[in-house]
């Protein structure tokens, strides 16, 4: 599996995790506040991870462009 395929697989899994966490947060907001808050935290962490991966990929693309120009 090449790097792009791996990044796409990670993105797909993050999407699934975020969707599940959002569903859990909505479904438990009135019945179990602790679970709802944990699911909300999972959603936030998922977005943080996605942002960090995007930054890493951008940095790697810039490094590759610089090395190709030399």
CB 9 within 8 A of CB 17: no
How far is 7 from 28, CA to CA, in rounded Å? 31
- Under DSSP, is residue 48 helix (H, G, I), strand (E, B) or coil? helix
pTM passes above 0.85:
no
Q: Where are the alpha helices (DSSP H) in 1-70?
A: 3-28, 33-69
How far is 52 from 63, CA to CA, in rounded Å? 16
Structure tokens at 16: 């699934």
pLDDT digits (tens, 9 = 90+) for 9-54: 999 999 999 999 999 999 999 999 999 999 999 999 999 999 999 9
Q: What is the pLDDT of residue 3?
A: 86
């Amino acid at each position: 599996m090449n790097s792009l395929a791996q990044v796409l697989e990670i993105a797909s899994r993050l999407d699934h995790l975020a969707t599940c966490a959002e569903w859990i947060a909505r479904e438990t907001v009135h019945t179990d506040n602790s679970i709802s808050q944990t699911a909300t935290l999972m959603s936030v962490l998922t977005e943080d991870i996605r942002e960090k991966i995007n930054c890493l990929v951008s940095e790697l693309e810039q490094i590759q462009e610089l090395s190709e120009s030399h």
